[in-house]
Structure 1
């Protein structure tokens, strides 16, 4: 902006000099050569007037230039630095006789300024003053001390800016500027509008500016009180209004933005900003306050669709305040205070703007219920197979690199509650890793890690977790509404997958789950009840009458002293390769598979009663002691607790019972016929005979009975 006003000032002075110097009785075009020579001497640049020069005499002495071009500096190309289609200025004659200079409105139509900064820092406007004439020792009055300009009228101007050291380019086009009377030291009104674009094909915005501007006598200090700017034609048809007070010190390179307000709909940001040394290495310092607003209403006002959330009352309150310090490409946000609905977060962040932004942060919050912000169940189900929609969030992993810590007093996600939450986030070049720690997780602790790597094709997922000392009953009750497992124990999880979209991720999933619980119970499933029913059926098959099983309990459960299990995950199938459960009266081993897509379970159990005198209903099961009971379930997962759905292989039970009975009878038979009271024959001469084993005695007896 400083350079633009400087160029504008040169053009005004040029037009005034031309108006005063040209004789009124000759064709002014005859003096093009002299005018060109003086401009080139003053600026050090080539100067061409391609069109006509026109004069007016009374009551205004005026001059009009057409198609004037000011050349570029060496090394910046052949394109003119400044060119204008039409420029005009008029000076009032009567005040000239009184040694006063009154200029009418300065007109500039079709102005084009091409400003370039080279890689080494040199700019194409450097040296615009040319060589200063030798001083005669006399004190000169300020060049603009007696100047009065009726106003400035700039139409259809274009200003381009190229920084070759950074590769950034901006284009300000369709620029129109009008001002009121300009008197040094007195404020004047200014109105401007233009379109700003990032080149070559970047975003653009249209703005309109209104304010009251004041220069000091040297033109080095500028104040705009107040300034009003409207930004429009932003993405999503958004518009912003900016208001404030601007103080600009061109000599010191300082800019103060005071009483600043930026607003868009219900969004209102207030604060102040000071920029120092902006002409060399700018430094920023400021503070800002984002007043409370409704994110949901703001999105609707911007023509965006607000997300469907499980709780329609969220996204209704948001506010933020922070301080800013640093440089335009490396700054810090301190004293951050963020409120989103019922959650408060404090902390700080550091931002580096390069080819890809880098953000480092340290944030602490109180509590948040993420389930309130999740999509409703029907929405989540519809979106679970949306690979195209799921790809959009992955693009955010490349937008910036992030590294930081977030701690929360409490958090709820997927119906699970966690306290003393610590998250360490590391995002770099499309790879996001979140290390998770929970100090209080259902009376235990939780440590986990989640990795999403979008730099791979297809994107990969990895999740590991270790939960120790947790109470399974409370966890399951929160997760699914009821608790089928109670007890304190440990769980470890490792899952890997790849793909885009929930269905693709589930299909490619592999992993392993290990668990170990102590002193608990399986609710909704009474193994003793099943065994008593088996005993009744077993008695009926044995001819012992149609005995009835024990009636079901009001709240069936199976107690255990120890429960361990391992499961392998492959796609939609969970393969429980081993399960072992112990209680004082029984031992249980099992294995089976669960199809999570169809929610079908295929499971086998092998139960052995080891002590019928103790435990949960063991005294009723004496006849089944030490007999393996094979049990099988095939059906919906939701009906596994119905013991009537379980099938027991009675053929194997009968075989085991017969084998047990046969062993008992053989034992009795051997004890009766091979008792210790039988006398051995006197040993033959030469040594005592070798004593017979029980098996050898039994074989001898069998030979006698069957005469073998």
Structure 2
């Protein structure tokens, strides 16, 4: 027995030594890199894969069976034109040798560095991953029983899982998405207990142009026997950008208390999604969404239940707290679609405010049905109905059907659009066809704007006739064009008693507007503030003597892109009746041009051109005009409160100036004006009467004639040269019956004063039209001085120049004395000549005496 024991022990010792020797030989004597060809051959035979291990293989055996693989690449044997399926930079795994011999998988750590997994399918359907051509029989495909599954799957335990810098991508003819910078970390992985998992990755997708970053933490429980997989306490953070929402950042926080998954179904209870403030096209949205959903994998169906949302939207200063409830379903596969039926939205009582509008109380309920087909990129909304109150006014917004297509081909259509707010009633329809062609119509029924504004708490500007203004507004139009160009043709509108017809074109991308409008009669004075005489006087009296003028703002004009052509039957502004108005207005990049502007006013015609460059600092202005036959009395009275002239005015002028207010425009005005007034009068004074009185005084006689209060003239010519706000008139000329008035002077446009030196001469028809004067007075230029504010009455503005008049009268007296003295001398000489001639005739005879007398007369003269 003793020898037998010794033999057994010896045999065991030899066996252990032999096994140890084998392991020693494998570990120290066999290079694992020599196994690369065998690994590659096995992969080709069993998986139809080409495995290329470029890095080194390393291993260890006790107490951990460890394998480390260097840089490796895997590609399919077929379709070699496609990119490799996968590659890694380095992988390491170590197993407990003792547990492995006992049928348990106990891994100390599993590390994968630089995994790059590319799934590619070309247009012909070829893939870079192996596909099995044989279909499994029903017996082969039948799932294992729970006992078989429990018996065949070993006990699993992984102390550490670390995947770093991985990349996973998928690409076919229509989609391309990839996960980059993938990091996965987990500890104490087992099939009996929950274990933590954390994930970080970045997602990009084309052609949707989506970029997203995801971080996720959860507890995972794997029940292989029951084939139930659970995620508990899942928390995720997502930040995404996409071209669809203008590359603004969308931040989501997701919380899932529990996710239960089986091979047939995924159940999520109480999914909580929090949306951080997100701004899209000037609207900010934030809120929370809660829902449960069931995902049937075999049926390719997703059902959403108990969907609730609390959202807040903000448009400038407007905030809308929204609560949303719906039942939903999502199908995918060959014909995926999303269905929300019904969708109910409740806007809780809140205050909304737009721009500088007052805050309005709002409460509303919305119901609708939505269906979306992602594959065909179609959406349909049916029976949209909003019922509520805004500022205690009934609010209704309805659309029987809204359908459309998004993506590369955009189309949309609405039927039965209806908007009601109090008495406001807007109805219409709109169709956007796949080629972006627009068709539709909109109609606004007559509404009392003043009453609606009062109900909404809006304060309208003061108007001269509140009883008749803004009491009726209506319009209707046909819509056409190609998006984003909208054409309104024909366009008809009615504002109170003023009708408007025409067409308009809106270029939404460029913000450009074009319109051609015909407008009836409009009394703009009814819409302007009423100003009484007492108010005007009080405002003038209380105005400080020196005030800094307020500059105009051209911000709105600088951004305006407008081409407008209009015809208006009549327009009254500040009491001036304008008729038959034609105008073409264009505004582009801060350049405003009016070319031409034609109108009829006070029996005459005006045609002008104007240009304003608001980009310059200060703004530059140019103006040209032609005036023909305009009655000056009413025009000056309305425009400048002057009663200086009456008559028919014809003029042409060209001016340049710069400035941001009226005072600076006048101060910088330069240019030239040629003006003529025919068959008119200088009102408030009679120059003929004043001069004739002076003549009568000089001739020591009195006038008994009845005179007019005005100076009537046949023609008045003036040329004004403007320079830095002052007008110089070097050649004033007026033709008055029996008189001629000439002179020169200046007008200060800023100070609103004038200073003229004038002179009047009697003509040879003075005795017919003015008064009878002797030839000496006809040669005298009678001086006049017009000086003072433009608003001064003519009788006080223009007076005879007394100093000049004295000098003129003195000159008349001198001339008349010289004439009388010369007349006496001539008379004495004539008498002396006559006496001499008589004596010569007596002495020499009559014939010789006459001859000698003529010679002597010539010598005397």
TM-score between the two structures when normalised by the length of structure 2:
0.56
Distance 1:565 1:428 in 2: 37
Distance 1:458 1:383 in 2: 26
Retained in 1: the 8 A contact 2:688–2:739?
Answer: no
Name whichever of 423-432 and 435-444 sits farther off. 435-444
Distance 2:443 2:548 in 1: 39
| Residue equivalent to 2:552 | 391
| Residue equivalent to 1:10 | none
More strand by share: 2
Partner of residue 359 from structure 1, selected from 513, 517, 525: 513
| Residue equivalent to 2:235 | 67
Distance 2:250 2:642 in 1: 77
Distance 1:639 1:345 in 2: 43
Shift of 1:563: 1.4
Retained in 2: the 8 A contact 1:422–1:437?
Answer: yes
Retained in 1: the 8 A contact 2:326–2:340?
Answer: no
| Residue equivalent to 2:655 | 495
Name whichever of 62-71 and 220-229 sits farther off. 62-71
| Residue equivalent to 2:609 | 449
Shift of 1:446: 1.3
Name whichever of 446-455 and 463-472 sits farther off. 463-472
Per-residue CA deviations over 1:385-404 (Å, capped at 9, x if unaligned) read: 99786433x11111221123
Shift of 1:314: 3.5
Shift of 1:274: 2.2
| Residue equivalent to 2:51 | none
Name whichever of 614-623 and 252-261 sits farther off. 614-623
Change in CA separation of 1:527 and 1:595 when aligned onto 2, cut-off 3 Å: same
Partner of residue 275 from structure 1, selected from 424, 432, 444: 432
| Residue equivalent to 1:508 | 668
In the TM superposition, what are the counterparts of 1:472-483 in structure 2 within 5 Å?
A: 472-473=632-633, 475-476=635-636, 479=639
Per-residue CA deviations over 1:33-89 (Å, capped at 9, x if unaligned) read: 99x9xxx9xx9999875124699xxxxx9976622467979999x999885522478
In the TM superposition, what are the counterparts of 1:550-589 in structure 2 within 5 Å?
A: 553=707, 555-570=708-723, 573-589=726-742
Distance 2:410 2:729 in 1: 72
| Residue equivalent to 2:344 | 190
Shift of 1:102: 12
| Residue equivalent to 1:425 | 585
Retained in 1: the 8 A contact 2:714–2:735?
Answer: yes
Shift of 1:486: 3.5
In the TM superposition, what are the counterparts of 1:102-251 in structure 2 within 5 Å?
A: 107-110=271-274, 143-144=300-301, 149-154=304-309, 177-180=324-327, 187-191=341-345, 210-213=366-369, 215=371, 222-228=380-386, 242-250=397-405
Partner of residue 334 from structure 1, selected from 489, 498, 503: 489
> What stretches of structure 2 of length at least 5 have no aligned partner?
1-145, 151-189, 223-228, 281-296, 331-337, 351-359, 838-856
Change in CA separation of 1:552 and 1:158 when aligned onto 2, cut-off 3 Å: closer
Change in CA separation of 1:587 and 1:410 when aligned onto 2, cut-off 3 Å: same
Shift of 1:250: 4.8
Secondary structure of the residue that 1:504 maps to in structure 2?
Answer: helix
Distance 1:570 1:44 in 2: 64
Partner of residue 523 from structure 2, selected from 338, 363, 369: 369
Shift of 1:352: 2.0
> What stretches of structure 1 of length at least 5 have no aligned partner?
1-21, 56-60, 117-139, 160-171, 196-204, 680-696, 703-708
TM-score between the two structures when normalised by the length of structure 1:
0.66
| Residue equivalent to 1:119 | none
Retained in 2: the 8 A contact 1:109–1:156?
Answer: no
Retained in 1: the 8 A contact 2:448–2:473?
Answer: yes
| Residue equivalent to 1:50 | 217
Shift of 1:358: 1.7
Retained in 1: the 8 A contact 2:368–2:383?
Answer: yes
Retained in 1: the 8 A contact 2:718–2:733?
Answer: yes
Partner of residue 346 from structure 1, selected from 496, 501, 504: 501
Distance 1:372 1:45 in 2: 59
Distance 1:491 1:72 in 2: 68
Distance 1:44 1:434 in 2: 50
Shift of 1:412: 2.6
Retained in 1: the 8 A contact 2:320–2:347?
Answer: no
Distance 1:628 1:318 in 2: 65
Shift of 1:405: 1.0
Change in CA separation of 1:365 and 1:111 when aligned onto 2, cut-off 3 Å: closer
Distance 1:383 1:402 in 2: 39
Retained in 2: the 8 A contact 1:53–1:66?
Answer: no
Secondary structure of the residue that 2:691 maps to in structure 1?
Answer: helix
| Residue equivalent to 2:794 | 640
Retained in 2: the 8 A contact 1:567–1:574?
Answer: yes
Name whichever of 84-93 and 443-452 sits farther off. 84-93
Retained in 1: the 8 A contact 2:218–2:231?
Answer: no
Shift of 1:345: 1.9
Secondary structure of the residue that 1:653 maps to in structure 2?
Answer: helix
Secondary structure of the residue that 1:618 maps to in structure 2?
Answer: coil
Retained in 2: the 8 A contact 1:608–1:625?
Answer: yes
Retained in 1: the 8 A contact 2:632–2:645?
Answer: yes
Per-residue CA deviations over 1:499-534 (Å, capped at 9, x if unaligned) read: 222233233333433211233333322122111221
Shift of 1:357: 1.8
Change in CA separation of 1:638 and 1:66 when aligned onto 2, cut-off 3 Å: same
Distance 2:645 2:716 in 1: 10
Retained in 2: the 8 A contact 1:64–1:86?
Answer: no
Retained in 2: the 8 A contact 1:385–1:501?
Answer: no
| Residue equivalent to 2:597 | 437
Change in CA separation of 1:177 and 1:549 when aligned onto 2, cut-off 3 Å: same
Query: Is 2:743 the partner of 1:590?
Result: yes
Shift of 1:608: 0.8
Distance 2:312 2:753 in 1: 73
Retained in 2: the 8 A contact 1:384–1:501?
Answer: no
Retained in 2: the 8 A contact 1:584–1:611?
Answer: no
Shift of 1:327: 4.6
Per-residue CA deviations over 1:81-122 (Å, capped at 9, x if unaligned) read: 8855224789999xx9xx9x9989864422679999xxxxxx
Secondary structure of the residue that 1:151 maps to in structure 2?
Answer: strand
Distance 2:464 2:243 in 1: 62
Secondary structure of the residue that 2:475 maps to in structure 1?
Answer: strand
Shift of 1:460: 1.9
Secondary structure of the residue that 2:481 maps to in structure 1?
Answer: strand
Retained in 1: the 8 A contact 2:327–2:341?
Answer: no
Change in CA separation of 1:652 and 1:431 when aligned onto 2, cut-off 3 Å: same
Shift of 1:588: 0.9
Distance 2:761 2:826 in 1: 28
Retained in 1: the 8 A contact 2:568–2:580?
Answer: yes
Shift of 1:560: 2.0
Distance 1:640 1:250 in 2: 76
Per-residue CA deviations over 1:174-222 (Å, capped at 9, x if unaligned) read: 8753214769989413226799xxxxxxxxx999772131549999653
Distance 1:352 1:257 in 2: 21
Change in CA separation of 1:326 and 1:68 when aligned onto 2, cut-off 3 Å: farther
Query: Is 2:319 the partner of 1:319?
Result: no
Change in CA separation of 1:305 and 1:566 when aligned onto 2, cut-off 3 Å: farther
Retained in 1: the 8 A contact 2:740–2:763?
Answer: yes
Secondary structure of the residue that 2:386 maps to in structure 1?
Answer: strand
Retained in 1: the 8 A contact 2:788–2:797?
Answer: no
